[in-house]
A and B are shown apart, each in its own frame.
Chain A
């Protein structure tokens, strides 16, 4: 095992664990409560952008760049994605299952569009 190969494995393990966390969230929504959320990726993106805005170094003419500690970024990301999902959930929770799928797909597309792909 060369160190390069280990680093490569570690990278994939990190990705796999990130996907596992997303699955935990989806399992809670879909598995435990029957809410079929197609837009998980949209909420992942909200978290990623929030954490980046909070912790990235300040750059001229760029929003965010608050240089906060990484833990603040994580908590902030969870709070932001949670807040958005409360709002989306309040609007869409009464929809039929397939309409909910379309609406949450819309959330993912809208998030992608607003963050600029």
Chain B
């Protein structure tokens, strides 16, 4: 018995989980399933690539690898810059598209279709700007460390797991312990009532987009670091993201992360025991099974 699928699944699952948090927040607070969320992941990865390349060009020592990791300070700075840039991109898309539809009182399905259009546009624009050739943050190779039970992981992968856990705990505490978190939950329960009670609904909507964008960009940087950066990377992650958001229960941040890990592990197990070509079907089976058997998910409440 080899424990390698466990590591692969956890690493993939933590990226899925971070992306699924954005989906679950958009779904529970803005009331629509955002098919453009995957594109925020791709844009986040490319934004980080652009910033880190620029930094490395301006001041080469920034790109020198940090300790056992394959990247230097340039990527750390780039990841933070990308979180902000991707957050701003989500606000731009909302101002141009979703906000207008929301003010017009459009049905959820209209917003879903609009998000399809936004996804197509963002993806085509990214392919136009960056070409569809895969890109990498660094070209340096990393030797995987032995972890026992036949499992290996690179220092990058272990760091990403740690960052994912810290991020999820942070987002969860923010939602449950801070004033803006309480406002977000109030708007998710009932936007009109929250507005009457003095909650600034538009500010809450902005925070939801900024958080979703920042988490998506983090997932994109992670995927870019341990796999590769392609304009299609977000689209490939979209179905696992939805499976995780629904399995975790719409609106639940710990649920989205836990479900992301479950989806990641299920994918890794499928690759190991059934065959790599069935990997993408796993999310679909999880999705349909949850929708049929437990539509409220693991931690959600019935609507």
Contact = CB atoms under 8 A, between A and B. Distances in A.
A114 B281 contact: yes
Contacts of B243: 106
Nearest to B31: A98
A38 B116 contact: yes
Contact of B109 (A36, A105, A106): A36
A110 B285 CA distance: 9
Interface string A91-117: 110010111011101110110111010
B239 A109 contact: yes
Nearest to A92: B288
Contact of A113 (B246, B280, B292): B280
A98 B281 contact: no
B112 interface: yes
B112 A101 contact: yes
A102 B32 contact: no
Interface in A63-107: 91-92, 95, 97-99, 101-103, 105-107
Contact of A103 (B112, B278, B280, B291): B291
Interface in A21-52: 36, 38
A98 B108 contact: yes
Contacts of B292: 91
A36 B107 CA distance: 13
B209 interface: no
Contacts of B281: 110, 113-114
B295 A99 contact: yes
A107 B291 contact: no
A18 B287 CA distance: 31
A116 B33 CA distance: 27
Contacts of B279: 113
Interface in B263-294: 277-281, 283-284, 287-288, 291-292
B28 to A, nearest CB: 12
B35 interface: yes
Interface string B155-187: 000000000000000000000000000000000
A103 B287 contact: yes
Interface in B132-150: none
Contact of A106 (B108, B242, B277, B278): B242
A114 B284 CA distance: 12
A97 B109 contact: yes
Contact of A102 (B33, B277, B278): B33
Contacts of A116: 277
Nearest to A91: B288
Contacts of B295: 99
A102 B280 contact: no
A101 B109 contact: yes
A107 B239 CA distance: 10
Given A92-B288, A95-B291, A106-B239, A112 B280 contact: yes
A103 B284 CA distance: 7
A107 B243 CA distance: 13
A92 B246 CA distance: 15
Contacts of A106: 239, 242-243, 283-284, 287-288
A70 B291 CA distance: 39
13 contacts: A36-B112, A91-B292, A92-B291, A99-B291, A102-B242, A102-B287, A106-B283, A106-B284, A109-B283, A113-B279, A113-B281, A114-B280, A116-B277
Please give me the 3 A-B residue pairs with the lowest Cβ-Cβ distance, nearest first: A113-B280, A106-B284, A110-B284
Given A105-B242, A109-B283, 6 more contacts: A36-B112, A92-B288, A97-B109, A98-B112, A99-B295, A110-B281
